[in-house]
Structure formats: C-alpha cells, structure tokens
Amino acid sequence: MSTQMDETLEKPRVVIHGRKVVGGVAEGEALVTKETISGWGGVNAMTGTIIESRHELKGVSFAGKVLIFPGAKGSSGWSGLFHMTRLRGTAPLAMVFNVMTTKAALGAVVMRVPTITECDQDPLEVIRTGDWVRVDGDAGTIEVWSRKPGA
Amino acid sequence: MVALTPAEQAMLEGTQGKATQKAMELLVRYAEALGAERFVETNNVAGVPGSSPPWVKEYYAADGGDYRAVFCRFDLDADEVFDVPKMNAFSCHLQGGMDPELWREQGMDEAAFGNFKSDEGEVAGHGIQILKTCTPYLAGNVPVMGEHCAWMESSAVVFANSVIGARTNCEGRESTSAAMLAKRIPDWGFHRDEYRRGDHSVEVAVPVDSIFEWGMLGYFVGDAVQDTIPVITGDISDPSLIRHKHFGAAAASSGGVEMYHMVGITPEAPSVESAFGGAPRGERFVYDQAARRRIYETLNSVGQSEDVDYVMLGCPHYSIEQIAQAAALLEGRKVHENSALWIFTSRAVKATADANGYTDTLRKAGAMLMTDTCSAISQAIPKGTKVAALDSAKQVHYLPAMMGIEGWYGTTQECIDAACTGKWKGKLS
C-alpha cells in the first residue's frame, strides 16, 4: 500500500509535450512569469536577477531555476546577456517559452540549456512557481511535480 | 532540419577554414532552434564582434584571454580556439563601451581604455567597419529595400525593416559574428514575405506631430502589440527620419516590435489591405487622449525629485539635424553647475558637427558631444547622478532601471531647459 502511495506521489502531475529548441535534460524548481523578459537592460547577468522596472519578477533571480516565460523582448543583446549568465554560473537550468523569437532561440543555443517551445498545453497556466520540473529537450517533454519527487 | 546548399555543406566540412566552419556550426544550431528550413545569403552584417569587458577575457584566460579567445569561445560559441581571418561579409561594428577621447570624463580608467583600444584594433584588423553607433543607417550603412541583412540593435532593426523595407531579424551578438564569416543567416522571420504582414491595428486618435509625440506613440504601440506587427492609421503626420528613429526605438523597448506599418507612410503599407496582406485582423488598439496621458505617466513614473543633475540626449544616437537643434537651444546659455549635459552620436555624424561648429557651441555651453556609446551601454553617468532627464522613451525605459536612478521623459527643449536650470519643469500639454 505504502509503495503504491509512493508511486502515486512520484508520478508527475502533468506532462507537457513540445518542440526541442535545445537538447539535453535538466530538472529543478520552476520560476514562472506571465511577462516577457528583456535580456540586456532587464537582467543583471552577475546574479541572474531581473531588474526591469515594473516587471512582476523584479528583484528575483532565475539562477539555478527552470525558467518558464512567454518569450523574449527588448534589446538585441538578449543572447549576449544570457550567454554571460552561463559564464557567471547564474543561468537558468532549463527554459520553456511560448513565443519563438530570434532572441530566445539564440539565447537558448548559446546558454546550452535544455529548452522547449510550441507546447501542447500552455506552460504558463499549467506550471506554478515552486513546482519541480524536468525538461527533456531531446524528447520534447516537460514533466511537472507539485514538489520534488522523493523529497 | 535545415537544408544546406553544397556551398553551405562545404563550409560545414571546413573547406573555408576553421573559423567559417565553426561559424556555420553555430548558425545550424541556431537555425534548428528557430525551426528554419534554409539559410539566406547576406552581405550586410552589423554586430559587436569580439568586443568584451576585461572580466570576459579573464574568463578565457586559459585560451590566452584575448580577442581571439573571446571571438572563438563566446562569439562563435566554439569549444576550441583558432585563428580568425578577416570577415567575408560587409561587416560593421555597432555601439561600443566608451568615447574614444572623453573616456576619462565618463569615469573610465586607463585599463578599461586600453582594453577598448585593443579590441578596436582587432575589429579593424578583421576588416570590420568601425561605425560605433546604434544608427548605422546614419553612418555609412544604409541598406536598400529587399536587402537581406543580419543586424543587431533593436532600434536599427525596426528602422531597417519598417522605414527602408530591408529584411533583418533582431539578431544577436553570436549570430552576427557568425554571419560575418559565413555570409548566411537563417531564412526565418522578417526574411520571409508572409512574416512581414500586420497582426494588429492601431488607430491614432490624437495628433502625433512632433518627435516627442512620435516617441510616446511608439511606447504605446510596443506595449499594446508586444512583439507582433502593428498597422498604424490615423492622425500621424510629417514623417521624418528622426521621428521614425525615435518611434521605432520606443516600440522595440516597451514591446519587441521589429517591424511596423504606417499606412501611407512606410513602404510596405500603401494601404491597410496591403499591410495586412488581406483583410485587417487581430486586435484593434486606439491611441487617444487617455492613452497618451497614461503613457506619459508611465514614462515619468520613475521621476520624483525635480532636481535634475544629468541630462542625456542621443538615444538612438543623434542625427546631425538633432545636434543642430540642440546647439541652437543652447546658444548663449550655460549648463547649470548642479547638472551635466551629455549628447551622444556616431563618429561620422560628429565629424559633421565639428565642421559646423556645433561641437564647440555645445562645449562653450558646458555640454559634451560624445560618440560610440550612451549611458545605458557604457553604464557611465556623471558621478553622483540621482535624477536624469531624457528625451528618449527608450532611454527612460532602460537607464533608471540599470543605474538605480530617477528619470524624467520630456521634449528636447524641456531637457535642455532642465540642464540649464537644474530643475525639471516638464509637463504634458
């Protein structure tokens, strides 16, 4: 009985399918925003913190999180800025976004983190900040748990 | 999967050398991330190839910690370091980190200037034009309608697509550096006809007839349509280069607008139907008096104190027309002792300003005409700045957030008055 309970707990709450942007597998805590993210001028690369005035995540760092967001906006320095977060160790572990842009695509490529887009369910609705998320870029799957499995 | 021509396949196999091979590898990864099916050829590339602050060079210390290491490892995202030849495409360097002469006044030290000079020597040595501006179209690189470009700089991209009818996505540092070698960029987005059609309507219901008004409308439009393509109709008049420059920069900052249509004004919008490629669709936004006031208040929401200690003009880089206007507004006046006025432009435009005597006029008034950069790019503001006044919706969007200062948005006249009195008196008429 208890084994069955554990298995139930270990099953993801939801599995989202999408298209690979960058391959690889990573898992971690989700950070979800319904607002688009500016790279250069919107993020401090040294800390991975969002600094844009009036952004709902202003002051929050995505370092070591799975970043779930609608898409990229703003300066063409997006990829360069996120590339620098990779150098500083403040990059997100993985990314899921809705709207494809050259900024987000190139940023994901040079950050080299598993990234998925074109999801079959809206990740901004289905995933909550604090959920445990496993992004498999190659398989195009995003598994979501309400808390870290086995924790 | 992206389809490769025999020439592209050959580049990938290394027949054009290691650097071009690695550039092509990155472009293939990028094209596949986008879902592009092929490449287009480009011979007009604008980026920031290889320029980097010292900490990035130090990060690559094991590879020599120099321009070469940064170009290979960072720009081309390669896992090895190799010799980088002269670029193959017509390539331009956009804005840089400091003024080549007034860097001390900007608070830079000898070491930072040494790094800047060294990078610039490398850029020139690789056959890349030292335009050092966010407005390449004012400094010797004006694309033509239909030309496939690979440009960085959101304000230049939106200008090229919308005002000129050239074709470029908002490229990044790595894709432009790779394109300089491979002369290719993914055939995606604005390179394709179907992507250049309007998504939403914006009706202008208040007169938009000055650069200040064009800037606020741009900020409204970006906020409304985000990263889609607006089709703008209504009470917008007297188009000019500087108005488009200001409008596009604002729309690219508040949203992610990379192309807009103004019916009867921009080249791919002779009519509403042609702008949409059929019947109008999407949402309809109205820019009325209430919207105008809301945008003005939004742009001024980071201003509290009326004691202005810094006025920055030249975002995007001022044209010679704007420098002439600023010089005229400053004639016979002095910048207040509690304030500073820095005006930014390109080296090409500054040469004209020098010839016309504007640089001297500005200097005599206590202002400085600077090139290459701006306060947001260089993160250089006069020491102790707490409150800035700006005539650019884009700059007020970025600078206060980046530097932790207050900011006001107003007309060029209001900004220059603030510089000369130390007081902000801007208001919406």
pLDDT tens digits, B274-317: 999 999 999 999 999 999 999 999 999 999 999 999 999 999 99
Residue B143 shares a structural domain with residue B36: yes
Using CA coordinates, name the residue in chain A closest to B219: A74
Given the structure tokens 């401090």, which residue do they identify? A44
| C-alpha pair distances (Å), B255 with each of A141, B148, B220, B282 | 29, 24, 9, 17
Q: Chain A to chain B, count of Cβ pairs less than 8 Å apart?
A: 105
Q: What is the pLDDT of residue A7?
A: 53
- Residues in chain B with CB shorter than 8 Å from the CB of A52 are 401
Residue B232 shares a structural domain with residue B361: no
- Residues in chain A with CB shorter than 8 Å from the CB of B153 are 75-76
Of A51, A87, A105, the CB nearest to B33: A105
Residue B426 lies in a domain: no
Report the candidate in A103, A101, A94 with the shortest Cα–Cα distance to residue A133.
A94
Is A126 touching B (CB cutoff 8 A)? no
For residue range B389-419, list pLDDT tens digits in order.
999 999 999 899 889 999 999 999 999 999 9
Of A21, A73, A109, the CB nearest to B256: A73
Residue B414 lies in a domain: yes
Residue B212 shares a structural domain with residue B286: yes
Residue B316 shares a structural domain with residue B403: yes
- Residues in chain A with CB shorter than 8 Å from the CB of B226 are 36, 73
Which chain B residues have any C-beta within 8 angstroms of a chain A C-beta? 26, 29-30, 33-35, 48, 56, 59, 74, 77, 151-154, 157, 169-175, 188-189, 226-227, 252-253, 255-256, 301-302, 376, 397-398, 400-402
Q: How far is CA B21 from the centre of its chain?
A: 29
User: For chain A, what is the largest distance between any 2 Cα atoms, rounded to a whole number of angstroms?
Assistant: 55
Domain's final residue, options B193, B226, B242: B193
Residue B428 lies in a domain: no
Residue B1 lies in a domain: no
Residue B77 shares a structural domain with residue B170: yes
Q: What is the pLDDT of residue B16?
A: 97
Residue B36 shares a structural domain with residue B129: yes
Phi, psi dihedral angles at B108 (to 5 degrees)? -85, 150
Residue B108 shares a structural domain with residue B122: yes
Residue B278 shares a structural domain with residue B341: no
Name the residues of A annotated as catalytic: 75
Here the ipTM equals 0.94
Domain's final residue, options B193, B226, B252: B193
Residue B427 lies in a domain: no
Regions of chain B short of the pLDDT cut 70: none
- Residues in chain B with CB shorter than 8 Å from the CB of A74 are 154, 252-253, 256
Note whether A53 contacts B77, CB cutoff 8 Å.
no
Of B30, B174, B402, the CB nearest to A41: B402
Q: What is the CATH number of the domain that holds B410?
A: 3.30.499.10
Note whether A41 contacts B173, CB cutoff 8 Å.
no
CA atoms within 13 A on the CB side of B37: 1
Residue B305 lies in a domain: no
Distance from C-alpha of A98 to C-alpha of B15, rounded to nearest angstrom: 38
Note whether B174 contacts A73, CB cutoff 8 Å.
no
Instruction: Copy the structure tokens of residue B331.
Output: 């004639």
Q: How far is CA B144 from the centre of its chain?
A: 18
Q: What is the pLDDT of residue A2?
A: 46
- Residues in chain A with CB shorter than 8 Å from the CB of B302 are 53
Residue B274 shares a structural domain with residue B377: no
Residue-range definition of the domain harbouring residue B118: 6-193
Q: What is the pLDDT of residue A6?
A: 55
Phi, psi dihedral angles at B320 (to 5 degrees)? -65, -30
Regions of chain A short of the pLDDT cut 50: 1-3
Three-state helix/strand/coil letters over chain A: CHHHHHHHHHCCCEEEECEEEECCEEEEEEEECCCCEECCCCEECCCCEECCCCCCCCCCECCCCEEEECCEECCCCHHHHHHHHHHHCCCCCEEEECCCCHHHHHHHHHHCCCEEECCCCCHHHHCCCCCEEEEECCCCEEEEECCCCCC
Is A94 touching B (CB cutoff 8 A)? no
Q: What is the CATH number of the domain that holds B136?
A: 3.30.499
The shortest C-alpha distance from A151 to chain B (Å) reads 34
Three-state helix/strand/coil letters over chain B: CCCCCHHHHHHHHCCCCHHHHHHHHHHHHHHHHHCCCCEEECCCEEECCCCCCHHHHHHCHHHCCCHHHHHHHHHCCCCCCCCCCCCCCCEEECCCCCCCCCCCCCCCCHHHHHHHHHHHHHHHHCCCEECCCCCHHHCCCCCCCCCECEECCHHHHHHHHHHHCCECCECCHHHHHHHHHHCEEECCHHHCHHHHCCCEEEEEEEEECCHHHHHHHHHHHHHHHCCCCEEEEEEECCCCHHHHHHHHHHHHHHCCCCCCEECCCCCCCCCHHHHHCCCCCCCEEEECHHHHHHHHHHHCCCCCCCECCEEEECCCCCCHHHHHHHHHHHCCCCCCCCCCEEEEECHHHHHHHHHHCHHHHHHHCCEEEEECCCHHHHCCCCCCCCEEEECCHHHHHHHHHHHCCEEEECCHHHHHHHHHHCECCCCCC
The shortest C-alpha distance from A147 to chain B (Å) reads 30
The count of domains in chain B is: 3
Is A138 touching B (CB cutoff 8 A)? no
- Residues in chain B with CB shorter than 8 Å from the CB of A78 are 172
Cα angle value B259/B260/B262 (rounded, 5°): 155
Residue B84 shares a structural domain with residue B171: yes
Note whether A79 contacts B173, CB cutoff 8 Å.
yes
Note whether A78 contacts B172, CB cutoff 8 Å.
yes
Note whether B397 contacts A80, CB cutoff 8 Å.
no
Domain's final residue, options B193, B216, B246: B193
Of A73, A79, A87, the CB nearest to B174: A79
Residue B44 shares a structural domain with residue B116: yes
**Interface residue of A109, A111, A112 to substitute, partner B, most B CBs within 10 Å:** A109
Using CA coordinates, name the residue in chain A closest to B153: A76
Using CA coordinates, name the residue in chain B closest to A49: B402
Residue B257 shares a structural domain with residue B179: no
Given the structure tokens 């060079």, which residue do they identify? B57
Q: What is the pLDDT of residue A5?
A: 52
- Residues in chain B with CB shorter than 8 Å from the CB of A42 are 401
Domains of chain A (ranges plus CATH)?
13-145 (3.50.30.10)
User: For chain B, what is the largest distance between any 2 Cα atoms, rounded to a whole number of angstroms?
Assistant: 65
- Residue A50 contacts residue A104 (beta carbons within 8 Å): no
- For residue B276, with 0-12 CB atoms within 10 Å meaning exposed, 13-18 middle and 19 or more buried, which class applies? buried
